[in-house]
Amino acid sequence: MEVILQAQNVCKVYGIKGNLYTALDNINLEIEKGAFVGIMGPSGAGKSTLLNVFSTIDQSTSGEIKISGQELETMNEEQMSSFRRDKLGFIFQDYNLLDTLSVRENIILPLALAKHSVYEMETRLEEVADTFHIRDILDKYPNEISGGQKQRTAASRAIIADPSLIFADEPTGALDSKSATDLLENLKRLHEQKYSTIMMVTHDAYAASFCKRILFIKDGTLYTEVYRGAQSRKEFFQKILDVLSQLGGDINDII
């Protein structure tokens, strides 16, 4: 099985000498192609830091990270920018849409920046618009659509360039329950039908139950992990809750 992401001895330390805080401590893991991985843990455990370091938003203090065989530490700023645009997809809680662009223009922006042909942009646009059921809002602007539609627009933009790895940071955090379930069902379908590789940070056990593998982080280290396997989503949901209760702390910070 092809390994999409490989991390060896990854550490992230903030602060200056005498006042240091270790956010990630000796992280080692592999993510295989086609995996749908959730990242969970108490508030302040290092979930978002892990995602930011893996997604090139932040830089590790030490260790090695490879995505699709490329070592992140060896790339200069220009190479990193191209790699991020071509190989990575991002879905954020606050959507990160450009208000001055239509839904259509927001979605195809990564392809336009990469100078793809108009034909290719339109072909891919139609495919992702159908995947996320937003064909009827393509000519609207972000201020004219609902939160759920904004998040589906952001998800469409994240996958239009066929990235090696999609990062989702609390993607259901700002959505009502119906919109959240719609998005999660779409991500599940994307994983199953397109064999997309997804890493999702979430505090929500219900959202995490759509994943196939969950990594639990505590105090900047990998605490444990669970696989769904042949379990139903309901059974996996209960298993996630059991591990979260073992983690301790304020349960409201976790679930």
On whether residue 255 sits in a domain, the answer given is no
Query: Looking at residue 99, which CATH number applies to its domain?
Result: 3.40.50.300
On whether residue 68 sits in a domain, the answer given is no
Describe the chain by its helix, strand, coil percentages, rounded to 5. Answer: 40, 25, 30
On whether residue 26 sits in a domain, the answer given is no
On whether residue 49 sits in a domain, the answer given is yes
pLDDT number for residue 254: 43
On whether residue 219 sits in a domain, the answer given is yes
Residue 204 CB contacts under 8 Å (≥ 6 apart), including other chains: 172, 173, 180, 255
Is residue 250's pLDDT more than 60? no
On whether residue 1 sits in a domain, the answer given is no
Query: Of 12-16, 82-86, 101-105, where does the model show the most confidence?
Result: 101-105
Average pLDDT, the chain: 91
Is residue 168's pLDDT more than 80? yes
What would the pLDDT profile of 25-75 be if each residue is shown by its tens digit? 999 999 999 999 999 998 889 999 999 999 999 999 999 999 999 999 889
Is residue 175's pLDDT more than 50? yes
Is residue 231's pLDDT more than 70? yes
For residues 168-188, average pLDDT: 90
Parent domain of 177: 34-63+75-248
pLDDT number for residue 248: 72
On whether residue 10 sits in a domain, the answer given is no
Is residue 23's pLDDT more than 70? yes
Number of domains in the chain: 1
On whether residue 69 sits in a domain, the answer given is no
Cα 171 from Cα 39, distance rounded (Å): 12
Is residue 163's pLDDT more than 60? yes
Question: Which of the four pLDDT bands, split at 50, 70 and 90, describes residue 155?
Answer: very high
Residue 175 gets the label, from left (phi > 0), alpha (psi -120 to 50) or beta, of beta
Cα 29 from Cα 51, distance rounded (Å): 13
